[in-house]
């Protein structure tokens, strides 16, 4: 349950960050949110967990999701910071 909330939540975040606003982004985000909700409901329906277990797993999954987003943003910022500046070297021949 924690894995599905965190994993599908991260997919939701990636669709928000990587896709342009539009119908595709909204559709994918809707599907992902529906999956998050249905996993919890199905666990209660099948008798595998109590509703309080599912709410706790959503909370723990949300904390894990915040951690994953923070790590993603730090890695992304570090990658952008270390990338060579292509615009400043465009059309310039290196001195040999």
- Measured CA to CA, the distance from residue 95 to residue 9 in angstroms comes to 49
pTM of structure: 0.76
Asked if residue 95 belongs to a domain, the reply is no
Structural domains in the chain (count): 1
Q: Is residue 93 part of a domain?
A: no
Sorted by sequence, the CB contacts under 8 Å of residue 61 that are 6+ apart come out as 1, 2, 3, 4, 5, 6, 9
Q: What is the pLDDT of residues 17-33, one digit of tens each?
A: 999 999 999 999 999 99
Q: In this predicted model, what pLDDT tens digit does every residue of 11-68 receive, in sequence order?
A: 999 999 999 999 999 999 999 999 999 999 999 999 999 999 999 999 999 999 999 9
Q: For residue 96, is pLDDT > 70?
A: no
Whether 89 maps to a domain, the answer reads no
In a domain, 83, yes or no: no
Q: Domain span at residue 52?
A: 2-69
In a domain, 14, yes or no: yes
Asked if residue 43 is part of any domain, the answer here is yes
Residue 85: what pLDDT? 64
Residue 47 maps to a domain? yes
Tell me, yes or no, whether 86 lies in a domain: no
Q: What is the pLDDT of residue 36?
A: 93
């Amino acid at each position: 349950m924690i894995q599905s909330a965190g994993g599908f939540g991260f997919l939701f975040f990636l669709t928000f960050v990587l896709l342009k606003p539009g119908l595709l982004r909204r559709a994918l985000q809707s599907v992902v949110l529906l999956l998050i909700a249905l996993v919890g409901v199905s666990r209660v329906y099948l008798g595998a967990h109590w509703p309080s277990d599912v709410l706790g797993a959503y909370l723990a999954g949300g904390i894990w999701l915040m951690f994953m987003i923070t790590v993603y943003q730090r890695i992304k910022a570090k990658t952008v910071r270390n990338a060579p500046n292509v615009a400043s070297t465009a059309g310039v021949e290196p001195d040999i």
